[in-house]
Chain A
Amino acid sequence: MRIKQLSLQNFRSYLNVTINFTSKTTTFIGDNGAGKTNIVEAIIYLAFLSSHRVSQNQPLILLGNQQAIIRAEIEKENRTLQIDLEVNANKANRARINQNPTRSQKEILGACQVVHFSPEDLDLVRGDPGTRRDFLDRLLITRSPRLAGVSADYERVIKQRNVLLKTRAAQSALVPWNEQLVVLASNLTAERIALCEALNPWATQNYSNLNETKLMKLDYKSSTEGLSNNPNLNIEIYKKQIQDLQYQEIERGTTLFGPHRDDLLIQLGDFPAKGYASHGESWSVAISLRLGAFDLLRNEGSDPILILDDVFAELDTTRRLQLMAATQKAEQTIITAAVEGDLPEGLETERFYVTPGVVSLKKRGL
């Protein structure tokens, strides 16, 4: 798939900008803070209905406004889809597909699929478990948009249930939420485990392609033992767990099990990457997770847009070549860089020059 045109209104620093993508690879060049990552962020928002940088909508909206608009023309299997998304500060977002209103913005999920790699991905190795869960869940949504609903419902059930636990509510009040919690948790966990199993060979392959000697391996680390990619079996295990933890949960006033407490365990040889990986190895792991995801999606018949946000400056030749090879496979690649010198030699790309609020085909002052 490819984005042919992207228009932003009142989005971040952009009052009004339209970008036409005409090449296989497009690069946005501009100083830090000029707004090139904002363009990438808008595309990511279309793909996941949330930003990768902030959890609220307000920071995405140009100061003094209540609404931003992201409009994209996407070409997918020779069809053109026009997506219009209103990002609202104080009410639910609204989306249109080919001018037709949708019942829920979630209907646009799947229209725009991306794999996004940025320097913050070092946190996939070093950061807390939430970063890695988010990585898995976003990949799940890319593979199967239905799961956006499962993951959102799961989070809401946990919030509802935690209010009851905190106020020491009676078991009879907890039961209706327990039933839904068990079903949602079983599904989400099964999907995450299945994803880890599917992603593992692709991540391992990418890691060894980077001339790394250790074996990279992914494992899903759950707070509950015995879970698998079978949601029906998980239901029985979680039902027992909820019984076992009944008193402890009321005492602690919070839900003590479930996928919101799990982690993605990344092994390098005999050791976990977290705490043991060198700086170079951490970069290799981050690249392998992202390019592994890219390869997995392509192998399953998707054709995601590859976004490389400000990463070339930090990488050595081997790692740059690996990313360059991925851009050859992608139907569309979008790159950002602070200066042209950061780009790998031999990269064929159209270039846009970004200054605050403006995206131009010409360098400023020329």
Chain B
Amino acid sequence: MSGMYEGAIQDLIDALGRLPGIGPKSAQRIAFHILQSDAEIAGALVDAIRTVKERVKFCTECGNVSEEMQCRICRDPRRENTSICVVEESKDVIAIERTREFRGKYHVLGGAISPIDGIGPEQLRIRELMTRLADSSVTEIILATDPNLEGEATATYLARLIKPLGLKVSRLASGLPVGGDLEYADEVTLGRAFEGRRTVNE
């Protein structure tokens, strides 16, 4: 597929094609759409990309995306400090926020344990989580990793790690589409899974 166009347009197609979920044909379609659109619209896209890279960082407390040192949720004084919901990615925070079932804070791991991809506990923000838990105000941990093999393995690993601390550890109830990502579950299903969460450390 490569090398069909000259210089700049092919560079754009290649760059777009490296984005997740965009195949060669879509990359070509988007590239020509950008080429034919007004300079203003194209400029806005360029600015948005540049700004997001300059401004958006990761919250020093929970690892969520944020424009400040701390994210909006960690800064919010109305959020309870007693419970932490552990998720794989920032997009899972958005999904759970939509359910309005949770008033505590989050911890974003940055992925799930997957040995074949070279991701072990050390590659995730697990040490940071343990540091946070040393703060005595936390009493409950909700493990909201994805309902697939890697998500389950990560939850099991964390539950065993946290057990000696004597905190209540719970896992989202089943009923979520198995094998999928948390983000694909609709609000009602996810809300129900949150409400029916079960304690995993007896």
**Same complex origin of A and B:** yes
Q: Contact residues of A with B, CB < 8 Å?
A: 66, 88, 90-91, 103-104, 149, 153, 156-157, 159-161, 163-164, 167, 169, 172-173, 175-177, 179-180
B153 to A, closest residue via Cβ: A176
Minimum distance in angstroms from B187 CB to a CB of chain A: 16
Which residues of A are found within 8 Å of B160, using beta-carbon distances? 172, 175-176
* Sampled A-B contacts (20; CB under 8 Å): A66-B23, A66-B25, A90-B23, A91-B21, A103-B184, A159-B116, A160-B114, A160-B150, A160-B153, A164-B115, A167-B115, A169-B120, A173-B157, A175-B160, A176-B113, A176-B152, A176-B156, A179-B156, A180-B149, A180-B152
Question: Contact: A175 with B149, CB < 8 Å?
Answer: no
Which residues of B are found within 8 Å of A157, using beta-carbon distances? 149
Question: Contact: B149 with A156, CB < 8 Å?
Answer: yes
Which residues of B are found within 8 Å of A103, using beta-carbon distances? 177, 180, 184
Q: Contact residues of B with A, CB < 8 Å?
A: 1, 21, 23-25, 113-116, 120-121, 149-150, 152-157, 160, 177-180, 184
Other than the known A167-B115, A176-B153, what 6 A-B pairs have Cβ atoms closer than 8 Å? Answer: A66-B24, A153-B179, A169-B120, A176-B113, A180-B149, A180-B153
6 interchain residue pairs of minimum CB distance: A176-B156, A176-B153, A163-B115, A176-B157, A160-B115, A164-B115
Which residues of B are found within 8 Å of A149, using beta-carbon distances? 178-179
Question: Contact: B120 with A173, CB < 8 Å?
Answer: yes
Which residues of A are found within 8 Å of B149, using beta-carbon distances? 153, 156-157, 160, 180
Minimum distance in angstroms from B107 CB to a CB of chain A: 18
Bound Cα distance A163, B153 (Å): 14
Question: Contact: A175 with B115, CB < 8 Å?
Answer: no
Which residues of A are found within 8 Å of B184, using beta-carbon distances? 103
Which residues of B are found within 8 Å of A179, using beta-carbon distances? 156
Question: Contact: B23 with A91, CB < 8 Å?
Answer: yes
- The binding surface of chain B is classed by DSSP as helix
Residue pairs across A and B with CB atoms within 8 Å: the count is: 56
Bound Cα distance A103, B152 (Å): 20
- The binding surface of chain A is classed by DSSP as helix
Minimum distance in angstroms from A297 CB to a CB of chain B: 25
Bound Cα distance A179, B1 (Å): 44
Bound Cα distance A176, B154 (Å): 7
> Which residue, of B149, B152, B154, has the highest number of chain A Cβ atoms within 10 A?
B149
B22 to A, closest residue via Cβ: A91
Bound Cα distance A149, B114 (Å): 18
A163 to B, closest residue via Cβ: B115
Which residues of A are found within 8 Å of B155, using beta-carbon distances? 176
Which residues of B are found within 8 Å of A167, using beta-carbon distances? 115
Which residues of B are found within 8 Å of A91, using beta-carbon distances? 21, 23
Question: Contact: B116 with A163, CB < 8 Å?
Answer: yes
Bound Cα distance A317, B184 (Å): 56
Minimum distance in angstroms from A165 CB to a CB of chain B: 9
Bound Cα distance A66, B120 (Å): 33
Question: Contact: A175 with B157, CB < 8 Å?
Answer: yes
Minimum distance in angstroms from A66 CB to a CB of chain B: 6
Partner of A175, one of B24, B156, B178, B179: B156
Which residues of B are found within 8 Å of A156, using beta-carbon distances? 149
Which residues of B are found within 8 Å of A66, using beta-carbon distances? 1, 23-25
Question: Contact: B153 with A104, CB < 8 Å?
Answer: no
Minimum distance in angstroms from B149 CB to a CB of chain A: 6
Bound Cα distance A197, B21 (Å): 44
Minimum distance in angstroms from B106 CB to a CB of chain A: 22
Bound Cα distance A163, B113 (Å): 12
Bound Cα distance A149, B148 (Å): 11
A157 to B, closest residue via Cβ: B149
Which residues of B are found within 8 Å of A177, using beta-carbon distances? 153
Bound Cα distance A149, B177 (Å): 12
Minimum distance in angstroms from A173 CB to a CB of chain B: 7
Bound Cα distance A332, B180 (Å): 35
Which residues of B are found within 8 Å of A176, using beta-carbon distances? 113, 152-157, 160
Bound Cα distance A90, B154 (Å): 27
Minimum distance in angstroms from B197 CB to a CB of chain A: 19
Minimum distance in angstroms from A181 CB to a CB of chain B: 10
Which residues of A are found within 8 Å of B180, using beta-carbon distances? 103-104
Question: Contact: A160 with B156, CB < 8 Å?
Answer: no
Question: Contact: B156 with A173, CB < 8 Å?
Answer: no
Minimum distance in angstroms from B199 CB to a CB of chain A: 17
Bound Cα distance A172, B163 (Å): 13
Which residues of A are found within 8 Å of B150, using beta-carbon distances? 160
Which residues of A are found within 8 Å of B157, using beta-carbon distances? 172-173, 175-176
Bound Cα distance A169, B152 (Å): 19
